[in-house]
Amino acid sequence: MKSIFINEFMNYNINTQEQDTEHTMPNILVVEDDKAICESIAFALENESFEAQCFEMGLDALDYLNNNDVDLVVLDIGLPDISGFDLLRKIRKNSDIPVIILTARDDDADIVLGLEGLGADDYVTKPFSVRVLISRIRAQLRHTNKQASPVVDSTTGSDQPQVFKINKDLNQILLHDQAIDLTKAECKILLHLVENPNRIHSKEHLLNVMHDRPTGSSDSTIVTHIRHIRVALNKIDSDNEYIKNHRGLGYSLVI
C-alpha cells in the first residue's frame, strides 16, 4: 500500500508523567477506514497529550459522538459504510464541533463542498504530514479554548535505571550493560533512536542520520538495518520489543 504520509521527521515525546487531575485532555475523534493509519494518527495525538478515539466505520463514530464529549473530529471522506460528506451532514445537524476532513481527493469542488457547503472547518489532503495535521488541530482548538497540556520530556529527570548506555569513545551502545553487536550504520541509527526515544522517526530521516549512506540507499535500506538492530537487541533482551514500527510513519524506540 502506498504511504499516505509525507516522509519527514516527526518529533513526538511520550508523556509518561501523570496528568494534572484538573486538566481534561482534548478528546479527538479520528474516523479513518484504514486501521493502521488511524492508530498511527492516534499514537501521535496521544503523545501530544490528546485523547484519541479511532473508528473505521462512520456510523459507529457518529454513535460515539452523540454519546460522548468530543472536542474535534478528523474525518476521512472515503469510508466503507457511509460517505464522509454524508457523515459530516449528520454531524452538522446537531453539532458545530470542529471538523477537519482528511481526503485523498484534491479536486477543488470537493474541497469547496466540504468547507463551504457542509461546514467543515479545515481539510488535509493525502499524502499528508501528521505534524501539520496536529498543528491544524491545535489551531482549531485555540478557537474553542480547548488545548492540550504541554508535553513533558520523560527522558530527563528520571530516577529509573538506564536501559541503554552510550560509549561514544568506543562507538558502542550497551543494553543492560552488554555491548550490542552492530555495524557502523546500524550504530548511528540506534544511537539516534536512543538519544530521541519515544518519538517517531521517518525512514527518510533515518537515512539522513547515516550521513555517509551508500549511493542508491532507499527505504528498504532502513528496513534492513532496523531488522538487524532488532535481532541484535533480541539476543540480549528477548522479553522486550524496543523498536516499534508505525506503518506509513516510521520507527520509534520505546523505553
Per-residue pLDDT of the chain (255 residues; tens, 9 = 90+): 445 555 443 444 444 334 443 447 899 999 999 888 888 889 889 888 899 999 999 999 999 999 999 999 999 988 999 999 999 999 998 899 999 988 776 667 777 778 877 888 988 887 777 888 888 999 999 887 665 544 444 344 444 457 899 887 778 899 999 999 999 899 999 999 998 887 878 888 888 887 665 555 677 889 999 999 999 999 999 999 999 888 777 888 887
Distances (CA, A) of 237 to 16, 164, 173, 179: 23, 12, 14, 12
**What is the model's pTM?**
0.59
Instruction: Indicate the helix (H) or strand (E) that contains 173.
Output: strand 172-175
Q: What are phi and psi of 56, to 5 degrees?
A: -90, -20
User: Which parts of 1-78 are beta strand (E)?
Assistant: 27-31, 51-55, 72-76
Number of other residues whose CB lies within 10 A of the CB of residue 224: 12
Query: What element of type H or E holds 110?
Result: helix 108-112
Residue pair 4/125 in contact by the 8 Å Cβ criterion = no
Can you read off the three cell numbers belonging to residue 43? 499514537
Strand (E) or helix (H) holding 219: helix 219-236
- Is-contact 200 160, C-beta < 8 A? no
